[in-house]
Amino acid sequence: MESAEDWLVESLRLYQDFHAFNLSGATQVLEWMGDKGILVAGYESLKKNEILHLILPLRLSVKENQGLFPERDFKVRHGGFSDRSVFALKHVPDTRLLVTSGLPGCYLQVWQVAEDTDVIKAVSTIDVHETEGSLWSKVAIFSSAAPGVLHGVRLSSLKVVDLESQKTTYTSGVGDSELLSSLQVLDADTFAFCCTSGRLGLVDTRQKGLQGAQEGACSPVISLAPAVKVAHRKAPGFDGMVQVYDVTSWDGMQGRVDPLFTHRGHIFLDDNGADTAPLVTTHTWHPDKPRTLLSAASDASLHVWDWVDLRASC
């Protein structure tokens, strides 16, 4: 493909490192397990989906002398089968447990990643008590000695459930039935929620209901890079791309802001030849490398890229 060749030549200038992989099935989740492994999961309906624990190639995980490590391939370290589509997956820190949310069926599935074999096994479920069959729960994890699972489909159904005892430790207690689009745990007692309407809130779980919630506006697909004040946003209408913005330079003026970098790899390296370009489904930042991102698309591609900060090269 000519444009793929062109893009690749361009990429020499745009990226420090670039890796492109093809998973056996597209994923909507990219969750870290430790700093050397990531978890992906399929979301096809009417089919057995795979949940995979992939170990980063040495070239992407070593901190020094990268040039002496030729290994560039992911290794499938663990795998499991899910009868349902997986739309969200969270690793419970300091454990070998995972929590997934999907359809059909309104419950969360808890999995265990085995130590001595390559199996990811379903071990228990968490009821969600949601009556609408086509909606799936958003999930976040309160990590502590007794981890809690924060989940909900609507503001009214927000709950925190103790993972081991399955007892509910928090409920929002509000009647507001706005649909949630994402949840993010901030510390042991607070979390942020984002609604599909764009409404953003912060909640303190020590207080009943949504008291302590502050209103703002959010776009559902922001992620913040660890340790660096750069944000990433997938804009609607630019669904085949991943864009990086520097929020430190925003001064509150909501005029047009240009992205620092745009990753178009998923569009140009699409080998499927389909008429529609693939959609980026999810992305995540590398925990140690400040400019390295992983992005996945609907054509089952997975990219790992380290963009060049062109401002700094002058």
Partner 1 sequence: MPEIRVTPLGAGQDVGRSCILVSIGGKNVMLDCGMHMGFSDDRRFPDFSYITRNGRLTDFLDCVIISHFHLDHCGALPYFSEMVGYDGPIYMTQPTQAICPILLEDYRKIAVDKKGEANFFTSQMIKDCMKKVVAVHLHQTVQVDDELEIKAYYAGHVLGAAMFQIKVGSESVVYTGDYNMTPDRHLGAAWIDKCRPNLLITESTYATTIRDSKRCRERDFLKKVHETVERGGKVLIPVFALGRAQELCILLETFWERMDLKAPIYFSTGLTEKANHYYKLFIPWTNQKIRKTFVQRNMFEFKHIKAFDRAFADSPGPMVVFATPGMLHAGQSLQIFRKWAGSERNMVIMPGYCVQGTVGHKILSGQRKLEMEGRQVLEVKMQVEYMSFSAHADAKGIMQLVGQAEPENVLLVHGEAKKMEFLKQKIEQEFRVSCYMPANGETVTLSTSPSIPVGISLGLLKREMAQGLLPDAKKPRLLHGTLIMKDSNFRLVSSEQALKELGLSEHQLRFTCRVHLHDTRKEQETALRVYSHLKSVLKDHCVQHLPDGSVTVESILIQAAAHSEDPSTKVLLVSWTYQDEELGSYLTSLLKKGLPQAS
The contact set with partner 1 (CB under 8 A) reads: 4, 8-9, 11-12, 17-24, 48, 50, 54, 57, 65, 67-81, 116-120, 269, 302
With b for 16 or more beta-carbon neighbours within 10 A and e for fewer, the 152-170 pattern comes to: bbbbbbbbbbbbeeeeeeb
Q: Which is nearer to partner 1, 36 or 223 (CB)?
A: 36
Q: To the nearest whole angstrom, how small is the minimum distance from the Cβ of residue 61 to partner 1?
A: 14
Q: Which is nearer to partner 1, 11 or 184 (CB)?
A: 11
| Residue 178 DSSP code | P
- The distance between the two most distant Cα atoms of the chain, rounded to a whole number of Å, is 59
Distances (CA, A) of 215 to 152, 195, 201: 19, 11, 5
Q: Which is nearer to partner 1, 85 or 137 (CB)?
A: 85
Q: Which is nearer to partner 1, 25 or 259 (CB)?
A: 25
**For residue 104, cis peptide bond before it (omega within 30 degrees of 0):** yes
Q: To the nearest whole angstrom, how small is the minimum distance from the Cβ of residue 88 to partner 1?
A: 22
What gap in Å lies between CA 47 and CA 44, rounded to an integer? 6
Q: Which is nearer to partner 1, 161 or 302 (CB)?
A: 302
Q: Which is nearer to partner 1, 20 or 179 (CB)?
A: 20
Which H or E run contains 14?
helix 2-14
CB 278 within 8 Å of CB 28: no
For 12, list phi and psi in degrees, rounded to 5: -60, -35
Where helices occur in 196-314 by DSSP H, the ranges are 265-268
Q: Which is nearer to partner 1, 39 or 141 (CB)?
A: 39
Q: To the nearest whole angstrom, how small is the minimum distance from the Cβ of residue 24 to partner 1?
A: 6
Residue 314: CB atoms within 10 A of its CB come to: 4
Q: To the nearest whole angstrom, how small is the minimum distance from the Cβ of residue 34 to partner 1?
A: 18
Tallying the residues shown for the chain, one arrives at 314
Q: Which is nearer to partner 1, 73 or 164 (CB)?
A: 73
CB 126 within 8 Å of CB 99: yes
Q: To the nearest whole angstrom, how small is the minimum distance from the Cβ of residue 89 to partner 1?
A: 16
Q: To the nearest whole angstrom, how small is the minimum distance from the Cβ of residue 49 to partner 1?
A: 12
What gap in Å lies between CA 42 and CA 186, rounded to an integer? 27
Q: To the nearest whole angstrom, how small is the minimum distance from the Cβ of residue 99 to partner 1?
A: 19
Residue 265: CB atoms within 10 A of its CB come to: 26
Which H or E run contains 11?
helix 2-14
Q: To the nearest whole angstrom, how small is the minimum distance from the Cβ of residue 306 to partner 1?
A: 12
Place of tokens 């400040």: 290
Distances (CA, A) of 46 to 75, 130, 288: 27, 21, 38
